[in-house]
Chains A and B, each alone.
Chain A
Amino acid sequence: MKIKHQLAIFNALTRLLVILILWLMLPILVENVVYRHINNGLIEKKKKFIDNLNQKEINDFIENADDSTETYSQFSTLHSEFLVLSKVPVKGNDKKTFFSNEFRIIEGEENEYRILQYHFTYENQDYQLEIGSSLSEVNDLTFIIRFFIIIVLVVILLATFLADTVYIEYLLKPFYKIIDTKIRRVNEPEAFDHTPIKAKSRDFRELDLVLNQMMDRIAELFKKEKQFISNVSHELLTPIALLKNKFENLLQNESLDDNAVDKIAGSLKTLDMLKKIINNLLLISRIENNQYEANENINFHEIINDLQSDFQDRMDDREIHFENHMKYDYAFTGNKTLIHILVYNLVTNAIKYNRPNGNINIEDGFEKGRYFISIADSGLGMSEAHLEKIFNRFTRISSDQDGQGLGLAIAESIASFHHIEIKVISKINEGTTFTLLLPEAAKHN
């Protein structure tokens, strides 16, 4: 779940909680306010009544009260209010004035009333005065208010939820932009876009800034690494060049005996080996450092044909039959030189580890929509244990073979640089098949 949804939901839930509490508290609040208002009204009436009090009026009420079977001496026609005066002996600790809610039946109609009870003594006679005010309207009103408020709250809830979502989305926009443009699309530190992302929140501006700084450091390291590779090659290869040239000039000396010539030739071979190891390690690190462009059109037919004519003599010499069964014209974009090296290394291995009068078969096709090209030889083959190690640097099938054991390590680097998968199947004394499985995204002509 994305943060914008989480935040919006959290906000909505907290708001809902507040609303629920309000909703539950509403009756108490309403009653407090309403009752106070009614109480004040009742006290006002009592005051008026007491102020105008005289014996005649008391008798009026009492007499009337005696006449009727009910004690309601006076009430409004809509039964919203009533007033009752009765003779009641005053108990010592009775409060003089108090309020209560009671149900009363007036002319056969039951209603809830807010009732003020007042005990007083007039000319040595104890009386009880009750003034009531109907609550039915108040209850209706409270219900309407509660209903109205709940509707308003729900509307507010929905509106703020929507507003939240939109606003959070707006706030988080720079975040997704940072992820997209500054992280996801960056493969090369040099291709990094340093333009600051516009963001309203300082947090994202900070994130952007920190990312920019981090990328600068990485770019700096990349640059240093490239510089280092370049320096190493220059500083190591120049002395090798010097030694090589010295030995080559020395070889021209007619007075050398066979033993000396052998030693010089051996030294030249060692130097050559050293040069190749350095160059190949540099090649691998340059590939792994993404120092190659991959934007050339590659035609595998062309590469295979080139290699075949290059190696025809070598193969003729060992009577190896080269069969090209390629059927598809497949276009691939990558680095031509590197792909050439990759195929070259596989083909030269197929020649090197073949038996005399053996075969090399080139085939191509599609596997689950992915183009593949396979190079199969009928040579020595490898054991399972050996297969696991062939892509490691400095691994060789047998120690008496020429080479540095870097060919397949390079092939592996080039393949992964181009997102090509290399599969190997091998059987001892039957041969080895290398399959290059190209990435799906590559287009097919």
Chain B
Amino acid sequence: MNILIVEDNKELAAEVYDFLCNAGYVCKITHTCEDALEEVASNDYDAMLLDLGLPDGDGFEVLQAVRKTKSKMAVIVLTARGELDDRINGLHLGADDYLTKPFALTELSARLFAVIRRMHGFTVNSLSIHGFLLQLQDYKVSYNEVPLSLTKKEFDIFQYLVLNKNRVITRLQLTEHIWGDILEVNSDSNFIDVHVRNLRKKLDKHRSIDWFETVRNVGYRISE
């Protein structure tokens, strides 16, 4: 999977680059609109991460230009402007998803996974971990063909942790993933524990879950 990162903050771009390379993507960084357009014209990318505030123009211009030629490329807009009109504008112009800064890298990888899955016609339909099978299209989990009854939130948490397996996921990251970014005023990250506790109970009925760790004071990790 080739991914183009268009971000003018070099350090941030490098951080995203490292993370995505570790996750197995092939990445390239550009810092300006001009370079981005040139890069898109000369190479094939599966996805582009596009910052809006670029030094030589607005990211939307890149998005517009890209959409005229490359319909198969997934575009995730990384925006610091929380403005709704930008979002609506962006949807019309053909961005596939949005992430508002600051975003969690694990959130980015989850969105990227979803967007690319959609782009490729849902060829990846399930994830599996230690015998548990997550069916992505109907939010169902089964263990050895025995279905588990998980709530939507429990499924989301499970999927998020599996997608970012072997990484410590903080409560905040999970909270943001489950409840989103906009309605965040009173979000209390401890509520995530309730859901995780329930999820673990349900999984534990089928097999021991020593691979599903609680990292003290921080969050959770699912190891392969």
Interface residues of A (CB under 8 A from B): 230, 233-234, 236-246, 248-249, 251-252, 258, 261-262, 264-265, 268-269, 271-272, 275-276, 279-280, 282-283, 286, 291-293, 310, 313-314, 317, 337, 340-341, 344-345, 348-349, 352, 402-404, 406-407, 410
**Candidates A230, A243, A251, A279; contact of B170 at CB < 8 Å:** A251
Residues of B within 8 A of A345 (CB): 185-186
- Decide: A314 near B82, CB < 8 A? Known: A249-B19, A352-B186: no
Complex interface bits, B81-116 against A, C-beta within 8 A gives 1, otherwise 0: 111110000000000000011111110000000000
B16 with A245: CB separation less than 8 A: yes
B194 contacts the other chain (CB 8 A): yes
**Candidates A245, A271, A283, A317; contact of B12 at CB < 8 Å:** A245
- Could you tell me the distance between the alpha carbons of A262 and B170 in the complex, rounded to whole angstroms? 11
* A251 closest partner in B (C-beta): B168
* A243 closest partner in B (C-beta): B102
Residues of B within 8 A of A403 (CB): 185-186, 188
* A346 closest partner in B (C-beta): B186
A248 with B182: CB separation less than 8 A: no
**Candidates B81, B186, B194, B217; contact of A233 at CB < 8 Å:** B81
- Could you tell me the distance between the alpha carbons of A241 and B170 in the complex, rounded to whole angstroms? 15
14 intermolecular pairs with C-beta atoms under 8 Å apart: A237-B100, A237-B102, A238-B102, A241-B80, A244-B102, A249-B18, A251-B218, A252-B167, A261-B218, A264-B218, A268-B170, A279-B82, A313-B151, A313-B194
> Given contacts A238-B102, A248-B170, A348-B186, could you give 5 more A-B pairs where the C-beta distance is less than 8 Å?
A249-B19, A251-B168, A261-B216, A402-B186, A406-B185
Residues of A within 8 A of B11 (CB): 242
* B104 closest partner in A (C-beta): A248
Complex interface bits, B142-181 against A, C-beta within 8 A gives 1, otherwise 0: 0000000001010000000000000110101100000101
- Could you tell me the distance between the alpha carbons of A283 and B184 in the complex, rounded to whole angstroms? 12
- Could you tell me the distance between the alpha carbons of A291 and B191 in the complex, rounded to whole angstroms? 32
**Candidates B101, B104, B191; contact of A237 at CB < 8 Å:** B101
* A409 closest partner in B (C-beta): B185
Tell me how far the C-beta of A342 lies from the nearest C-beta in chain B, rounded to whole angstroms: 10
A313 with B186: CB separation less than 8 A: no
B12 with A233: CB separation less than 8 A: no
B84 with A242: CB separation less than 8 A: no
Interface residues of B (CB under 8 A from A): 9, 11-12, 15-16, 18-19, 52-53, 80-85, 100-106, 151, 153, 167-168, 170, 172-173, 179, 181-188, 191, 194-195, 198, 215-219
**Candidates A233, A248, A293, A402; contact of B105 at CB < 8 Å:** A248
B80 with A237: CB separation less than 8 A: yes
Tell me how far the C-beta of A240 lies from the nearest C-beta in chain B, rounded to whole angstroms: 4
Tell me how far the C-beta of B173 lies from the nearest C-beta in chain A, rounded to whole angstroms: 7
- Could you tell me the distance between the alpha carbons of A243 and B53 in the complex, rounded to whole angstroms? 18
- Could you tell me the distance between the alpha carbons of A234 and B80 in the complex, rounded to whole angstroms? 5
Residues of B within 8 A of A268 (CB): 170, 172
* B183 closest partner in A (C-beta): A344
Residues of B within 8 A of A341 (CB): 182-183, 185
A271 with B102: CB separation less than 8 A: yes
Tell me how far the C-beta of B200 lies from the nearest C-beta in chain A, rounded to whole angstroms: 14
A244 with B104: CB separation less than 8 A: yes
- Decide: A258 near B184, CB < 8 A? Known: A234-B81, A291-B83: no
- Decide: A240 near B168, CB < 8 A? Known: A286-B83, A313-B153: no
- Could you tell me the distance between the alpha carbons of A76 and B107 in the complex, rounded to whole angstroms? 128
- Could you tell me the distance between the alpha carbons of A310 and B215 in the complex, rounded to whole angstroms? 26
Residues of A within 8 A of B183 (CB): 340-341, 344
B194 with A317: CB separation less than 8 A: yes
* A264 closest partner in B (C-beta): B218
B16 with A265: CB separation less than 8 A: no
Residues of B within 8 A of A313 (CB): 151, 153, 191, 194-195, 198
**Candidates B18, B103, B184, B195; contact of A279 at CB < 8 Å:** B184
